[in-house]
Structure formats: structure tokens, C-alpha cells
Amino acid sequence: MKDTGFTAADILLPGKDIDMEKWAVVACDQFTSQPEYWEEAGRIVGESPSTLRMILPECYLEASGKEERIRNIDETMDRYLAQGIFREYRDSFILVERQTESGTRYGLVGKLDLEKYDYSPDSVSPIRATEGTILSRIPPRKEIRRNAPLELPHIMVLISDSRKSVIEPLARKKAELETVYDSPLMLGGGHVTGYLVDSEEDRKGVYAALEAMADKLDSSNPLLYAMGDGNHSLASAKSCWEDIKQKLPAARRETHPARYALVEIENIFDPGLEFEPIHRAFFGIQQDSFDTILAHHARMIEKKETGSVAEAIRKINRQKQSFALLSGGKVYVYSLDGTERAMPAWTVQSLIDEMLAAKAGTVDYIHGVKAVEELSAKGAIGLILPEIPKETFFDSILHDKAFPRKTFSIGHANEKRYYIEARRII
């Protein structure tokens, strides 16, 4: 069959005596302005084996002691391997059933070929970034991966499978598959169940369905996999692979485990898959200064105070080039005209770039309206962006290239991927 870049992997899972609720923790790039979340996760885990001990939450990425944290991660991975914490499922996929507040969605864990991935803005590779990749964010993430014997994915990759031919046939037969984990997830993450997909028939079914999708693509712009979450993690894996392969003979490059990255693919047409805009919180800047910088990027700005956050959200989802702003206990709807691009996230990104260059304030990227409201109540300027229709998502990437960074996420923060599976990369 044609190589479409996504294949079964040798997947490591914790032994069945491991407490899965303590083992699985949410993606490291969540709750970056809320260290109390990660402190509570640490309290729940205690001394139990956990993926929390093998990741670096990004709220600590710039904190002191990072080098020691990374050493501890590597040592924990080595110790877990030596202690027999893991069981290995060779040449397999894992069908993931995830129950969240947004509904039930399905995904398939396997490995992606990093040779088919290019995160540059003008990429026409089969695996592609959907948001701008910030090159400065790659080196600190490479530090974590460089000497690690294992990778644990929080990467979610989208496919546009309107025929529901890749993942859904496996979901329909889940009762016939071996259940390899089944657990609630800590701190409001819902529930997750994993099913082993290891038969030759099922593997061939996945490959044939992906090949049929690939055959319908424009060969000059063959977008088959679009990043949903974890683009900078995948970009770091790609960069590490580029370093490694320079030292390998050609034959070894074909099979080296670092050539691949473990990911979960999901169908954008899965009804349980909800897109959420990623919002912004601004610190160290007053609203009048915010407005002054914004005026450099829009010919017209209309600002109206509104009665509630819910009302503001309804309005911005009905009109173009608008966002909601929370400041000083008030809620405003900003409507713009005369901007360089149609998407409000691009206009806001232009504002951010100017603000950071002038050192006029700082920004964080926030998952969930509630978190924006909480930060605004503490003095930040909270900014809520409108929804992105997922039906036009792939076409937007094909024709307009990547969105600005952190424009969308899949579900709320506690609905992101939890670390469960692992794979050897050295």
C-alpha cells in the first residue's frame, strides 16, 4: 500500500496494576497561568507512578530549576522502564474513546512519519501546522526530548474524513477489541477507554482508508493531516530528528525510532470534537494603551459596553472582525474595520507583536472563558475571540496557510489529551 505517513507503533502502556487515574495527566501546555492546577495534580498523584513525573508543565518552563526537572524526567523514564512499569503492544494502534462535557469522541493512536511534516509557513507537505510555529519555542522543548528514552504524546492531529472511513469502523466494533485501559480522568477530565487494534485486517483497513483519502488530494498541495494540538511538540520532535539523522547512515534513517512521533489522529467530522477559540489575557497594560496600539491595525474601532460575557459572545459569533474585552469589571464588544486580514485573531496578533516589541505589556493564551473571567477579575485585560467553523477548517489551511498561533483548541482545557501511551525513541 501507499505510505500515507501514519502507521501502527510499538506502544507502551502502564501495567494493569497501575492506578490509571493517577497515571494520566493533562497536556503540559494547559493551565499555564494557573500553577495551582499542577500543584493539585501533584497532590493527587503523590508517590504513585504517573506521567506527571515524565513531563514538564509549561507553567514551569521559564522557572528556575528547569535543568533539574529535565534530569528528573529522564531518570524517571529510565526507572519506570527498569522496574517493568510498562507493557508493550507491538505494531498496534490504540482506539481512544474519550468522554467529556462536550460529548464522546474517538481517536486513533499511532505514529507519524516526521519526514512528511514541514512546519514552515509555506508548507505543502502531507502533515502540516495549522497555526504559526514560533521557532523560539522549539529549543526549550528539544531540551526535554533530546536525551529522553521515551516520548509521551499530547499531540492531536486532524483528518478530514467526511465518509468516516478510518476511525469510525473501529469504533463500531469496539466490543470485539481488547480493552487496555478504562478510567476516569483527574480534575474534571471526564473518562477515557483504550482499545487495542492489533489485527492485520484492522491495520490494513486503516491504511486502505487513508490511502483512499490521499488519492483524492491535489498532488501539489496534499494536506492529509492538520495539526489540532501540540504543534510545537511535533515541531520539536521534527527538529530533533533532523539533528539525529545527520549522523546516521542512509539505511538506518529508514527505521530509526526518532524518525516518528506518537500522536492521536481524530476526524474533524466527529460530532464529539468541538473547536474552542483560544483567548488572550494581557498583563501590565492599561485599556487605553491597548486601544492605542489596536488603532495602528484597524482603520475603524467601535467599542460598546454590553451586559454580560454571554451576550458579548453571542454578538461576536454573529459578526465579522470582532472580539469581547473584559476590563475593570466591565464587558465590551470591539468591532473592527479596515484591518489587514479578515480574521480577528490576526489583528490581535499584530497588536501583540507591537506590544511585545515595545515592552508595553505581556500576554498569555487562555483556554476557556471562565479562566479569562478569573484573570480579568485579578486585574488582567481579558480578550475573548469568536468561534472558528470546523467545516471550513481544512479549506482555510489549503488556501490561506496557517492561522496565527494559538487561534483554536480542541475542547476546553480539561478536555485536552491526557498522557497515557508512550513509545521508545532511542
| Number of folded domains that form the chain | 2
User: What is the pLDDT at residue 360?
Assistant: 97
Partners of 337 in the beta sheet?
300
Please give the helix or strand (H or E) that residue 281 lies within, else none. Answer: strand 275-283
* Rounded Cα distance, 117 and 238, in Å: 8
Q: Which residue has the cell 504517573?
A: 50
Where is pLDDT greater, at 406 or 104? 104
Query: Mean pLDDT, to the nearest integer, of 69-87?
Result: 97
Q: State yes or no: pLDDT of 135 exceeds 70.
A: yes
Shared-domain flag, residues 358 and 235: no
C-alpha cell at 45: 498523584
Phi, psi of 106 (to 5 degrees): -125, 145
For the ranges 49-53, 264-268, 269-273, the lowest mean pLDDT is seen at 269-273
User: What is the pLDDT at residue 395?
Assistant: 84
User: What is the pLDDT at residue 314?
Assistant: 96
Shared-domain flag, residues 140 and 211: yes
Q: Is residue 1 part of a domain?
A: no
* Rounded Cα distance, 177 and 157, in Å: 23
* Rounded Cα distance, 37 and 398, in Å: 37
Quick one: which of 71, 51, 35 has its CA closest to 143? 71
Banded model confidence at residue 403, pLDDT cuts 50, 70, 90: confident
Banded model confidence at residue 63, pLDDT cuts 50, 70, 90: confident
Mean pLDDT of the chain: 94
User: Quick one: angle between helices 66-82 and 138-146, nearest 10?
Assistant: 30
Confirm if 263 and 155 have CB atoms less than 8 A apart: yes
Please give the helix or strand (H or E) that residue 24 lies within, else none. Answer: none
When mean pLDDT is compared over 120-129, 235-244, 409-418, the highest value belongs to 235-244
Q: Is residue 393 part of a domain?
A: no
Q: State yes or no: pLDDT of 273 exceeds 80.
A: yes
Q: Is residue 239 part of a domain?
A: yes
Query: Mean pLDDT, to the nearest integer, of 180-190?
Result: 98
Banded model confidence at residue 121, pLDDT cuts 50, 70, 90: confident
In the chain, what percentage of residues exceed pLDDT 70? 100
Banded model confidence at residue 177, pLDDT cuts 50, 70, 90: very high
Shared-domain flag, residues 254 and 116: yes
Q: State yes or no: pLDDT of 262 exceeds 90.
A: yes
Query: Mean pLDDT, to the nearest integer, of 158-174?
Result: 97
* Rounded Cα distance, 259 and 241, in Å: 6
3-state secondary structure of 418: strand
Shared-domain flag, residues 146 and 57: yes
Confirm if 27 and 417 have CB atoms less than 8 A apart: yes
User: What is the pLDDT at residue 343?
Assistant: 83
Query: Mean pLDDT, to the nearest integer, of 4-31?
Result: 97
User: What is the pLDDT at residue 18?
Assistant: 97
Shared-domain flag, residues 203 and 302: no
Which residue blocks in 216-343 are alpha helix, DSSP H? 231-245, 250-253, 287-294, 309-316
* Rounded Cα distance, 365 and 407, in Å: 9
Quick one: which of 338, 293, 344 has its CA closest to 323? 344
Pairing of strands 86-100, 25-26: unpaired
In the chain, what percentage of residues exceed pLDDT 90? 81
Shared-domain flag, residues 228 and 295: no
For the ranges 13-17, 126-130, 134-138, 325-329, the lowest mean pLDDT is seen at 134-138
Q: Is residue 51 part of a domain?
A: yes
Where is pLDDT greater, at 406 or 50? 50
Residues 6+ apart with CB under 8 A from 318: none
Confirm if 109 and 11 have CB atoms less than 8 A apart: yes
Query: Mean pLDDT, to the nearest integer, of 381-397?
Result: 88
3-state secondary structure of 134: coil
Shared-domain flag, residues 282 and 270: no
Q: State yes or no: pLDDT of 399 exceeds 90.
A: no
C-alpha cell at 339: 484591518
* Rounded Cα distance, 119 and 234, in Å: 9
Shared-domain flag, residues 19 and 54: yes
Shared-domain flag, residues 253 and 361: no
Where is pLDDT greater, at 35 or 63? 35
Residues 6+ apart with CB under 8 A from 274: 102, 103, 410, 411, 415
* Rounded Cα distance, 96 and 196, in Å: 9
Shared-domain flag, residues 166 and 307: no
Distances (CA, A) of 116 to 62, 81, 150, 159, 247: 31, 30, 21, 15, 20
Phi, psi of 273 (to 5 degrees): -95, 110
Shared-domain flag, residues 234 and 349: no
Confirm if 72 and 53 have CB atoms less than 8 A apart: yes
C-alpha cell at 274: 468541538
Q: State yes or no: pLDDT of 276 exceeds 90.
A: no
Residues 6+ apart with CB under 8 A from 333: 303, 304, 306, 312, 315, 316, 322, 323, 324, 325
- List pLDDT tens digits, range 219-250: 899 999 999 889 899 999 999 999 999 999 99
- List pLDDT tens digits, range 210-225: 999 999 999 899 999 9
Residue 336's domain spans which residues?
278-388+398-408
Which residue blocks in 18-156 are alpha helix, DSSP H? 20-23, 35-45, 66-82, 138-146
Phi, psi of 256 (to 5 degrees): -60, 135
3-state secondary structure of 145: helix
Banded model confidence at residue 341, pLDDT cuts 50, 70, 90: confident
User: What is the pLDDT at residue 391?
Assistant: 79
Q: State yes or no: pLDDT of 345 exceeds 80.
A: yes
* Rounded Cα distance, 263 and 274, in Å: 18
Banded model confidence at residue 366, pLDDT cuts 50, 70, 90: very high
Banded model confidence at residue 33, pLDDT cuts 50, 70, 90: confident
C-alpha cell at 155: 499531540
Shared-domain flag, residues 11 and 100: yes
Banded model confidence at residue 297, pLDDT cuts 50, 70, 90: very high
C-alpha cell at 411: 475542547
Q: State yes or no: pLDDT of 1 exceeds 70.
A: no
Q: Is residue 251 part of a domain?
A: yes
Quick one: which of 417, 107, 401, 109 has its CA closest to 269? 107
User: What is the pLDDT at residue 132?
Assistant: 77
Q: Is residue 131 part of a domain?
A: yes
Query: Mean pLDDT, to the nearest integer, of 20-38?
Result: 95
